[in-house]
Amino acid sequence: MTDDEELTALGPLLDEAVGIARTRIEAIPDGVAVTVEDQEVQEASAVPDAIAARIMSLSAKSAEGAAVKAKAAAWIDGVPSK
């Protein structure tokens, strides 16, 4: 499998993992201890963080691969996606 093929396969997985993480993070109740909230965010972010890290380790040769890398970089940088 080429890097671009892997990138295009990982793109939808990242989208799904980010959606699940955001849902979990939004479900954290107001008023919980900061340490508890931090732990919940770290746990919710573990899967998309791992996928994004793998994506960033690959080389994009196509526009589609570059777009997947841009999404991964945005996740890592904490930039909300559309």
Per-residue pLDDT of 1-32, as tens digits, reads 899 999 999 999 999 999 999 999 999 999 99
The pLDDT value recorded for residue 80 is 64
Q: What is the pTM of this model?
A: 0.91
Residue 24 is encoded by which pair of tokens?
């979990």
pLDDT(42) > 60? yes
Distance in angstroms (rounded) separating the CA atoms of residues 59 and 6: 10
Task: Give the C-alpha distances (Å, rounded to integers) separating 8 from 32, 42, 53, 75, 81.
Answer: 38, 26, 15, 16, 17
